[in-house]
Amino acid sequence: MKKNLIIISLIFALPLLAYWMMNASNSTTAKTIEAGKPQVIKFTSAMCLDCQTMNKIFKEIFPKYEGKITLTEIQVQDNNSFNQEQIKKYNVTLVPTIILLNSQGKQVKRLEGEVPKEQMDNYLKGLE
């Protein structure tokens, strides 16, 4: 009887332990979104053509904002808990979605779909 109780306890304890360890490892990823300076959170997908266009635009214009603005890219198809939490938090239903946050962490602008390069540059200038 004692042996069965130990086996049953292990059956319930091991999955809980594994779940706890996986969540603990994702908590380091969650620190990529931080308050203190303006942020851009870019929700994207590798299979989205507009996302690929926006990636090219960001590669061209974002280097001049590096160090001033934090850029966080979230791949929506990745099913880790941090990504899913951010998708729910910002109610993302379309990619690309770009969320602009001020230095206090408050949402200033939400952009959905492709945005022209000049317009995106102006939005980033406004975040500084």
C-alpha span between 3 and 106 (Å, rounded)? 55
The answer to whether residues 70 and 38 touch, using CB atoms and an 8 Å cutoff, is yes
> Greatest CA span in the chain, whole angstroms?
73
Q: Compute the mean pLDDT over every residue in the chain, rounded to the nearest whole number.
A: 84
* Residue 66 reports pLDDT greater than 60: yes
What range does the domain containing 61 cover?
39-127
Quick one: 47 and 1 in the same domain?
no
With CA atoms as reference, report the closest residue to 24 among 80, 77, 88, 76: 80
- Confidence category of residue 8, pLDDT binned at 50, 70, 90: confident
Query: What torsion do the CA atoms of 61, 53, 111, 128 make, to the nearest 10 degrees?
Result: -10
Give the chain's domain count.
2
Quick one: 50 and 79 in the same domain?
yes
Quick one: 27 and 74 in the same domain?
no
| Residue found under tokens 């990823």 | 29
Once rounded to an integer, what is the mean pLDDT over residues 79-99?
93
Quick one: 51 and 19 in the same domain?
no
Quick one: 26 and 77 in the same domain?
no
